[in-house]
């Protein structure tokens, strides 16, 4: 099985794209709704919560987990991959949504050296809309700049957007927030129109029409679709981690299963039913489904 983890509903946009791209695979989804949103939490708290959720998915039989939360991927994924995973679960793999986007934007593989990345292509400007922690981590700026220094990355934190989307706010409220964030970014660009905009949070695809409206003529990069294509390629390179054998997706949440199930259909595109998991903090195993 392949696990998909997010702090809340947002990862369902990625999961839906993964299921479309890989319909003959088995998936398990875990949303840590009890501790969402991650965007306002301390970095070490994000790391520990992510680690606890990965343990839960491994306990479900997942050998590969996609971290579909940009904040978790930007803050803690490299540390998890380099220190915790080789020691605790050497036969498991964890990948994130940041890598596919960087590769798609730069046209360079993630493993490329700094020197290999210093080819001079056409100068471009990429806008990144993300949570405060993702912006403050500088992950997109650093990784894109390392591989394609001719690309200018301009970031815009959107702190109100996830609460609005998670809370099923009226469409006009979401539209107004997106317009405001787009206007802030355009003001800092001094009239330069970006070549493309990356929606660096898995919640934001639900507001993609608002970004298209606020940034006319700007290509909006689809993180779920790019991530799905990247996972398919990854599985071709690592057949030992594959999970061929389609079965119904299993959905888990650390929040209220009933409430989450009612809201999740907006993100997934069809009715889904979540099972509850007790909101256990790291170190408080075992992880069992709540009755």
Binding residues for substrate: 6-7, 38-39, 70-71, 202-203
Mention every residue, 6+ apart, whose C-beta is less than 8 A from residue 189: 125, 127, 154
> How many residues appear in the chain?
291
Q: What angle do CA 17, 132, 217 make, to 5 degrees?
A: 55
Mention every residue, 6+ apart, whose C-beta is less than 8 A from residue 47: 75, 76, 79, 80
What is d(CA 22, CA 249) in angstroms, rounded to the nearest whole number? 12
- Contact criterion met (CB below 8 Å) for 161 and 37: no
201 tagged catalytic: yes
Of 80, 87, 81, the C-alpha closest to 43 is: 80
Count CA atoms closer than 13 A to 269's CA, side-chain side. 11
Joined tokens for residue 159: 């702190």
Joined tokens for residue 2: 């392949």
Catalytic residue among 62, 69, 158, 210: 69
Of 232, 197, 188, 167, the C-alpha closest to 36 is: 167
What is d(CA 214, CA 161) in angstroms, rounded to the nearest whole number? 14
What is d(CA 10, CA 113) in angstroms, rounded to the nearest whole number? 32
Bridge partners of residue 5, in order along the sequence: 30, 67
Neighbours of 146 (CB within 10 A): 17
Catalytic residue among 62, 158, 201, 210: 201
| Token pair 């990355």 in the structure block, residue | 153
210 tagged catalytic: no
Within 158-221, strands assigned E span: 196-200, 219-221
Catalytic amino acids? 69, 201
């Amino acid at each position: 099985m392949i696990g998909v983890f997010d702090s809340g509903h947002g990862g369902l946009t990625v999961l839906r794209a993964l299921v479309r791209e890989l319909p003959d695979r088995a998936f398990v989804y875990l949303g840590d709704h009890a501790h969402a949103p991650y965007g306002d939490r301390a970095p070490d708290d994000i790391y520990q919560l992510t680690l606890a959720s990965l343990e839960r998915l491994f306990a479900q039989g997942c050998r590969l987990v996609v971290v579909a939360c940009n904040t978790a991927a930007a803050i803690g994924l490299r540390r998890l991959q380099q220190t915790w995973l080789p020691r605790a679960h050497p036969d498991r793999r964890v990948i994130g949504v940041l890598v596919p986007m960087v590769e798609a934007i730069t046209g360079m593989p993630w493993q490329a050296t700094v020197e290999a990345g210093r080819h001079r292509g056409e100068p471009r400007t990429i806008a990144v809309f993300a949570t405060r922690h993702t912006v403050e981590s500088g992950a997109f700026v650093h990784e894109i700049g390392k591989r394609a220094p001719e690309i200018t990355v301009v970031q815009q934190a959107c702190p109100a957007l996830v609460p609005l989307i998670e809370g099923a706010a009226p469409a006009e409220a979401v539209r107004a927030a997106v317009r405001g964030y787009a206007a802030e970014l355009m003001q800092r660009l001094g009239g330069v129109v970006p070549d493309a905009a990356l929606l660096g949070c898995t919640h934001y695809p639900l507001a993609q029409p608002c970004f298209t409206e606020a940034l006319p003529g700007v290509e909006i990069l689809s993180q779920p679709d790019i991530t799905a294509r990247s996972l398919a390629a990854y599985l071709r390179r690592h057949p030992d981690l594959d999970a061929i054998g389609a079965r119904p997706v299993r959905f888990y949440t650390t929040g209220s299963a009933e409430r989450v199930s009612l809201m999740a259909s907006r993100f997934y595109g069809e009715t889904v039913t979540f099972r509850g998991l007790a909101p256990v903090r790291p170190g408080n195993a075992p992880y069992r489904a709540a009755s």
